[in-house]
Amino acid sequence: MILIFNVIKPGLLTTIQDLGRKGYQKYGMSVSGAVDHYAHRIANILVGNQENAATLEVTLIGPTFKVLETRTIAITGADLTPYLNNCPVPLWRSFTVHEGDILSFQGYRSGCRAYIAVAGGMDAENTLGSKSTDLISEIGGHHGRRLTKGDTIKATNVQANNEKCFARRLSIELIPTYTKNVRVRTILGPQEDSFTTKGIETFLSSEYTVTKDSNRMGCRLDGPTIEHKNDADILSEGLFMGAIQVPQNGQPILFLSGRPSVGGYTKIGGVISVDLPKVAQLKPNDRVSFEIVTLDEAHEKLRKQENIIKILQAGI
Amino acid sequence: MRYTVKTAGDQSIIINFGEQINEQTSQTVQKLSNIIESNGIIGVEEVVLGYTTLLINYVPTKISYDTLLSTIKVLLKDIALTKMEERNTIEIPVLYGNEMGPDLVDVAKLNHLAVEEVIKLHTEPDYSVYFLGFSPGFPFLGGLNEKIATPRLENPRKKVQAGSVGIANYQTGIYPVTSPGGWRIIGHTPIPLFNSNDADPFLLSPGDIIKFKSITKKEYDEIINSRP
């Protein structure tokens, strides 16, 4: 274990995350973890880590760190204009930071969440099998909370040759572009029967605006009211990543990794896995619209993506 | 065995055993959950219990949707023959009323009962833990006597202390962590339901039976003081 960063400015919301705390949702724990799995996994791959290694999830306004140890790092996801000392550094590419360097973010350009991976991975509190910060239960990550000024962040010792993955970059066609209007593919259900035909049509033909109340738990959306047949209440049941819940007011909520384990309102659909990173990068006032795909199509897209990630992982 | 299967996104399915909250349905959900977990099906990541449903998270690149469904169908056939695992009974000591149960008097008034009767009716039943959810270790319980069912507060509290015991309509429950909440708070337990430092951080599991026991302020203080 080594000290890697000293927090000069914490940014808006910077937390330690991995791929989530699995197996405890049936006890009421949130799964937590990186909201954008794709950016998180690629950041790890670029520095030669296992894809589940802990990274820093940075939200909208980036932090400023003083580097305490020379290391290979990579930044992926949202473009918040990362700088090393006085020079801009590229996203989706690994590079070396040296002791005494200042890593900062100079301003917002696109997306919502950036991920910083350090070769060896962040060393953090491992609670119930995960280093992910759960802000509700106040466990995991850095004392179960967001970073604050003066915190010192640790990394684990690097086993592999540090130079081996210097300046790895992701091919340009694999780098997502984040726009203010996204269209995401969804699977209808599990409660599509609770909505009128008009309600389903409204859902599929309208644009919804992300509201300011959105966070790691979910994106609250604002737009044309989605009409129920009767009641919006259901008996509480498990919630899944990308679930689109519509309470009685007809305004959808799109659940992300900080979601509660169960919910008691109708869900009109779920965003397919390969489109979840698009949703993860939505910020207030961005707009989202939905279209339907079949389960087979969704799985075919996922297989393609996983094959690419497997090849990248093997390339290290 | 009557059930329906619904897709929930492209990495989950929900098995639904009906729309009635009752002991039998809840036991079916728990049995399926136990069978799936003990079978260790490759590609099945996690299950989440509800009142009448089981959410199953799977990895489509490790198990296809069709294989998952046929596997679950086979397991469902075994359910009728499966016995419930032995159920733990857990006693929850509660200090009722006063500052620890600020809504006890209102619960009594709204139901035209004396405060003592509310406590008696609340401590009588064996409550079943149907499932846990909402916050870490929060139990959804079956068995509340209808005579003390009381609507939620019109204005939810911004902060309900961990350990608070409450009533909301036909449900009773305990807040494991301090959070906002609209349940009528009738008492407080000094026993923690969630402790992240423990190897086994959750006091309760689905299927457990709990009994509330009314304790005095002196007994309450003794339990508090005996905690490490």
Q: Are residues A162 and A185 in the same domain?
A: no
User: What CATH number does residue B129 fall under?
Assistant: 2.40.100.10
ipTM of predicted assembly, 2 dp: 0.95
Least CB–CB distance from B8: residue in A236, A270, A298: A270
Q: Are residues A56 and A204 in the same domain?
A: no
Q: Are residues A57 and A72 in the same domain?
A: yes
Q: How many CB atoms lie within 10 A of CB B14?
A: 22
**Residue A112: per-residue pLDDT:** 98
d(CA B38, CA A95): 45
Q: Are residues A119 and A251 in the same domain?
A: no
Which residues fall within 8 angstroms of residue B10, CB to CB, at 6 or more apart?
A187, A270, A272, A273, A295, A298, A299, A302, B60
Total residues found in chain B within this entry: 228
- How buried is B8 (Cβ within 10 angstroms: 0-12 exposed, 13-18 middle, 19+ buried)? buried
User: What CATH number does residue B47 fall under?
Assistant: 3.30.1360.40
Q: Are residues A201 and A163 in the same domain?
A: no
Q: Are residues B150 and B213 in the same domain?
A: yes
Residue of B1 and B10 predicted with greater confidence: B10
Q: Are residues A268 and A293 in the same domain?
A: yes
Q: Are residues B43 and B115 in the same domain?
A: no
Listed residues A174, A192, A215: the one ending a domain: A174
**Residue A316: per-residue pLDDT:** 55
- How buried is A9 (Cβ within 10 angstroms: 0-12 exposed, 13-18 middle, 19+ buried)? middle
d(CA A136, CA A258): 9
Both tokens of residue A75? 């930044």
Q: Are residues A100 and A166 in the same domain?
A: yes
B46·A22 Cβ contact <8 A: yes
Q: Are residues A236 and A97 in the same domain?
A: no
A–B: how many Cβ contacts below 8 A? Answer: 139
How far CA B71 is from CA of A262, B7, B32, B64, B118, in Å, comes to 25, 16, 12, 11, 47
**Residue A159: per-residue pLDDT:** 59
Q: Are residues B125 and B175 in the same domain?
A: yes
- How buried is A88 (Cβ within 10 angstroms: 0-12 exposed, 13-18 middle, 19+ buried)? exposed
How far CA A283 is from CA of A213, A239, A240, A256, in Å, comes to 10, 22, 21, 13
Q: Are residues B139 and B55 in the same domain?
A: no
d(CA B117, CA A139): 40
Question: Do residues B42 and B18 lie in contact, with contact meaning Cβ atoms separated by under 8 Å?
Answer: no
**Residue A1: per-residue pLDDT:** 83
Listed residues A111, A140, A174: the one ending a domain: A174
Quickly state the pLDDT bin for B200 (edges 50, 70, 90).
confident
Q: Are residues A153 and A24 in the same domain?
A: yes
Q: Distance, in angstroms, between A177 CA and closest chain B CA? A: 23
- Model pLDDT for residues B126-148, shown as the tens digit of each residue: 999 999 998 899 999 999 999 99
- Model pLDDT for residues A135-186, shown as the tens digit of each residue: 988 999 999 999 999 999 999 987 555 555 557 889 999 999 999 999 999 9
**Residue B179: per-residue pLDDT:** 85
Inform me whether the pLDDT recorded for B158 exceeds 90. no
Tell whether the torsion through CA atoms of A73, A76, A78 and A79 is positive or negative: positive
- Model pLDDT for residues B40-67, shown as the tens digit of each residue: 999 999 999 999 999 999 999 999 999 9
> Does residue A121 sit in helix, strand or coil?
coil
Interface of A with B in 29-88 (CB under 8 A): 29
Least CB–CB distance from B137: residue in A28, A271, A306: A28
Listed residues B62, B81, B100: the one ending a domain: B81
Both tokens of residue B90? 């857990």
How far CA A160 is from CA of A68, A127, A166, in Å, comes to 20, 26, 12
Mean pLDDT of A307-312: 94
**Residue B85: per-residue pLDDT:** 73
- How buried is A150 (Cβ within 10 angstroms: 0-12 exposed, 13-18 middle, 19+ buried)? exposed
Q: Are residues B154 and B64 in the same domain?
A: no
Least CB–CB distance from B50: residue in A136, A238, A242: A238
Q: Are residues B141 and B171 in the same domain?
A: yes
Q: Are residues A54 and A158 in the same domain?
A: yes
Mean pLDDT of A242-263: 96
Domain of residue A49, residue span: 2-174
Question: Do residues B44 and B58 lie in contact, with contact meaning Cβ atoms separated by under 8 Å?
Answer: yes
What total number of domains does chain B contain? Answer: 2
Total residues found in chain A within this entry: 316
Q: What order do you get walking across the sheet with B12-16 strand by strand?
A: B4-8, B12-16, B53-58, B44-49
B60 touches chain A (CB under 8 A): yes
Domain of residue B206, residue span: 89-226
- Mean pLDDT score across all residues of chain A: 95
d(CA A114, CA A303): 25
Q: Are residues B74 and B137 in the same domain?
A: no
Listed residues B15, B50, B81: the one ending a domain: B81
Listed residues A140, A174, A208: the one ending a domain: A174
Q: How many CB atoms lie within 10 A of CB B107?
A: 22
What total number of domains does chain A contain? Answer: 2
> Does residue B58 sit in helix, strand or coil?
strand
Q: Are residues B111 and B28 in the same domain?
A: no
User: What CATH number does residue A197 fall under?
Assistant: 2.40.100.10
B177·A137 Cβ contact <8 A: yes
**Residue B198: per-residue pLDDT:** 85
d(CA A14, CA A10): 6
pTM over 0.90: yes
Phi, psi angle pair for A255, to nearest 5°: -80, 135
Least CB–CB distance from A187: residue in B9, B53, B57: B9
* Closest C-alpha to A77, from A124, A109, A123: A109
Residue of B79 and A111 predicted with greater confidence: A111
Q: Are residues B115 and B219 in the same domain?
A: yes
Question: Do residues A295 and B36 lie in contact, with contact meaning Cβ atoms separated by under 8 Å?
Answer: no
Inform me whether the pLDDT recorded for A264 exceeds 60. yes
Inform me whether the pLDDT recorded for A111 exceeds 90. yes
Q: Distance, in angstroms, between A7 CA and closest chain B CA? A: 26
Question: Do residues B132 and A27 lie in contact, with contact meaning Cβ atoms separated by under 8 Å?
Answer: yes
Quickly state the pLDDT bin for A97 (edges 50, 70, 90).
very high
Q: Are residues B70 and B132 in the same domain?
A: no
- Mean pLDDT score across all residues of chain B: 93
Q: Are residues A163 and A211 in the same domain?
A: no
Task: Tokens 């620890």: give the residue.
Answer: B100
> Does residue B71 sit in helix, strand or coil?
helix
Which residues fall within 8 angstroms of residue A62, CB to CB, at 6 or more apart?
A11, A14, A80, A81, A82, A104, A105, A114
Mean pLDDT of B194-210: 91
Q: Are residues A236 and A287 in the same domain?
A: yes
Both tokens of residue B125? 């039943």
Quickly state the pLDDT bin for B86 (edges 50, 70, 90).
confident
| Element housing B139 (H / E) | strand B139-142
Which residues fall within 8 angstroms of residue B123, CB to CB, at 6 or more apart?
B94, B211, B212, B213, B214
Interface of A with B in 114-173 (CB under 8 A): 127-128, 136-139, 144
β-pair partners for A183: A289
Task: Tokens 């350009």: give the residue.
Answer: A109
What single letter denotes the amino acid at residue A154?
K
- Model pLDDT for residues B7-22, shown as the tens digit of each residue: 999 999 999 999 999 9
